[in-house]
Amino acid sequence: MCRWLYSALLLCLMNIDSLAIDAVVSYRVFYIYQNNAYAPYVEVYWQIDANTLNYKTIDSNTYQASVKTYITITDSAGNLIKKDAYILQTPPVVSMPRATSQRIIEIQRYMLQSGKHSVAIQMEDAQNKTNTFSYTYSVQTALQTDKLFYTLPQLLDTVYKSNVQDMFAKNGNIQIPLCADFLDEDRKYLTYYAELAAHPSAGYKHTKLKQQVYISKKPLEGVVYKLQKTDSIDADEITPVYGKLPIESLPTGNYYLNIVLTDNDKIVANSSLFFQRINSKPKVDTSNLIASDSLTSQMQVFDLSSTFVSKYSMAQLKAILKMIKPICNEVEVITVDNFLARPDDTYIRYFIYNFWKRRSALKPKEEWEKYTQLIKEVNKMFGVSGIPGYETERGIIYIKYGKPDEMVGVSNEQGTEPYEIWTYNTLPHQNTGGMLLFYRPGFMTGDFRVLHSNIRGEMRNPQWRQILYKTGRPNNGANARAEQYFPGNK
C-alpha cells in the first residue's frame, strides 16, 4: 500500500539531474518476544522524490505514477530468504505540479533469523523502464543474549494516536519514520522511537528504572545545549519508548541521540544514533549567562576610542565575533554565542579588544590584522552562495588547523556525492596527524559538510558510507578514493 507525505522535508537525495529514480532508504531492526526469546524483524522504509517519476494521464488533468518494486533478502550464503514484487502507485493528483511535489513513503517488515542478511531494493518506473533505482545493504541480527537492551532509536516524521489498521500502525499509533537521519531547518522538534527489551530472567519486570534521553557531540558523552529528558520507565518484555526534544537551539552539525537506562545510578542499557542537523539560525538560550558574565567581569575596561575596535559598526562587530569563534576556547565560545543573541555594543568591543590582547599583549591590533589576512584567504577559497568562507565547515577547519598537507577533491566518482579529503601530517596542539572527509549533499549548491574524521575532537561518523555512497557502498570497491584513505572502520 502506498503512502505519501506533503511535508517539505529536506532530505539527502541523489542528484535530480540524473536519469534515475531518487530515493532514500533506511531500516531498523526490532524484536518480537515469543517462546521465551526475542525474534528479530527488519523494518525497511524509503521515500521517493516524486519529481523523478513519470506520470500517466488518467483523465484530462489527473496524473498518477506507478513504480514496480522488488525486494530480495538473502542470507550470508546467498540463499533466498524472502522475495517481494508489487507495484506502488501514487495517489491520483489533479495537476502536474501537485503530482511532482508530493512525497511518497513506503514501509515493509520482514521476520529474520539470526545472522547476516543482504537486503536489495530495486525500483522501475512503469512508464519508463530505464528510470530505475537500486539499493543493497547488509543487516546483522544476532541472537540477543543481553537480558536488557535498547533497539537503535528511530527518528519519526509524524506520530499520533489511531486505531486505524495501516502499514504505519504500531502500538496504537500511526508513526511515520524519517527515511534519513537528518533534520532540516523547518524541524522544531526531534521526535524519536525505540524499544526497551527486558527478559523476565533479568529481574526488572514491572520495575521502575531511570531513563535519560539526550543529545551529544559524541556517543554517550556530555549533553549539549541542555537537550535532555529524564523520566522513569517500566521494564517489560517489550516497552515502546516515545519522546521528543526541542531542537530550535541546536545549530548545524553532527550529533548523537542517546538513550541511557540506569538502576541505582548504574548503567544497565544504552543505545546511540548518529544524525545530522541543519539550522543556520539557532535560537540561543540567554537564561544562563554565567560563563559570559564571568568573562565579561574580567575584561579590562578603558577608553576604546583610540583602539582598532572603535571604527566598526554593530554589523561588523557581529561578523568579527563569527570570524574569531573557530579559535575561541570553550568559555569564549559561550560568550560569543551570547553576544550574538543579545548584542551589546560596548561590551562586544571590550571583548574583542581583550580577546586579541590576551593573545598579544603588546600588539593586539597587529595580531588582529594578521588574522584578517587568513579570513580573506578563507573567504576566497570557501565562500559560496552569499555565505562567507569563515562560516563554512571547510573554512572553520582551515582556520582551526591551517592549510592541509594534502587536499584531494573527487567530483566525478560514479555513485557518490562530490567529496574532499584533507590530510594533516601534524595537528596544532596534538602529537599526531589526522584526516577529514567532506561531502556536498545533493541539496547543497556548493558548500561542503564534514562527514567523517579521525581527528580527536572532530566528528566521527561510523555510518559515513551510507551517506556518501548512493547505494551505501562504493561502486569502485576498494579503489574508491575515500576507501583508500578511510579503509575498513578507520
pLDDT value at residue 14: 33
Within-domain flag for 304 = no
Convert the pLDDT of each residue in 79-118 to its tens digit: 999 999 999 999 999 888 888 888 899 999 999 988 899 9
Asked if 193 and 126 sit in the same domain, the reply is no
Within-domain flag for 172 = no
Amino acid at 161: K
> Which one of 373, 389, 416 terminates a domain?
373
d(CA 73, CA 91): 28
Q: What is the mean pLDDT of residues 452-466?
A: 86
Asked if 138 and 37 sit in the same domain, the reply is yes
Domain count, the chain: 4
DSSP state of 308: G
Within-domain flag for 390 = no
Asked if 36 and 140 sit in the same domain, the reply is yes
Quickly count: other Cβ atoms within 10 Å of residue 463's Cβ.
Answer: 14
Within-domain flag for 225 = yes
In this predicted structure, the answer to whether residue 122 has a pLDDT above a threshold of 70 is: yes
Asked if 350 and 409 sit in the same domain, the reply is no
CATH number of the domain bearing residue 97: 2.60.40
Q: What is the mean pLDDT of residues 7-23?
A: 48
Q: What is the mean pLDDT of residues 287-297?
A: 49
> Which one of 326, 356, 373 terminates a domain?
373
Q: Residue length, the chain?
A: 490
Asked if 242 and 225 sit in the same domain, the reply is yes
Domain that holds residue 473: 404-485
In this predicted structure, the answer to whether residue 191 has a pLDDT above a threshold of 90 is: yes
Q: Kindly report each contact of residues 145-149 with a partner whose C-beta sits within 8 Å and lies 24 or more positions away, as own/partner.
A: 146/269, 147/198, 147/199, 147/201, 147/202, 148/196, 148/197, 148/198, 148/199, 148/202, 148/204, 148/235, 148/261, 148/268, 148/269, 149/196, 149/197, 149/269, 149/271
Asked if 43 and 132 sit in the same domain, the reply is yes
In this predicted structure, the answer to whether residue 10 has a pLDDT above a threshold of 60 is: no
Convert the pLDDT of each residue in 19-37 to its tens digit: 589 899 999 999 999 888 8
Asked if 336 and 444 sit in the same domain, the reply is no
Within-domain flag for 12 = no
Convert the pLDDT of each residue in 141-189 to its tens digit: 876 666 789 999 999 999 999 988 889 999 999 999 999 999 988 899 9
Convert the pLDDT of each residue in 39-81 to its tens digit: 999 999 999 999 899 999 988 779 999 999 999 999 999 999 9
Within-domain flag for 5 = no
Average pLDDT, the chain: 86
CATH number of the domain bearing residue 205: 2.60.40.2550
d(CA 195, CA 134): 30
256: its cell numbers: 548523537
For residue 7, what pLDDT band results from cuts at 50, 70 and 90? very low
Asked if 152 and 55 sit in the same domain, the reply is no
Asked if 22 and 137 sit in the same domain, the reply is yes
Instruction: Give bridge partners of residue 57 from the DSSP assignment.
Output: 63
> Which one of 96, 118, 145 terminates a domain?
145
In this predicted structure, the answer to whether residue 349 has a pLDDT above a threshold of 50 is: yes
Within-domain flag for 137 = yes
In this predicted structure, the answer to whether residue 394 has a pLDDT above a threshold of 50 is: yes
Asked if 64 and 93 sit in the same domain, the reply is yes
pLDDT value at residue 222: 84
pLDDT-above-90 percentage for the chain: 52
pTM: 0.60
In this predicted structure, the answer to whether residue 387 has a pLDDT above a threshold of 50 is: yes
Instruction: Give bridge partners of residue 38 from the DSSP assignment.
Output: 33
pLDDT value at residue 114: 87
Asked if 281 and 333 sit in the same domain, the reply is no
Asked if 106 and 75 sit in the same domain, the reply is yes
pLDDT value at residue 385: 79
Within-domain flag for 434 = yes
Reference 228, options 239, 236, 220; nearest CA is 220
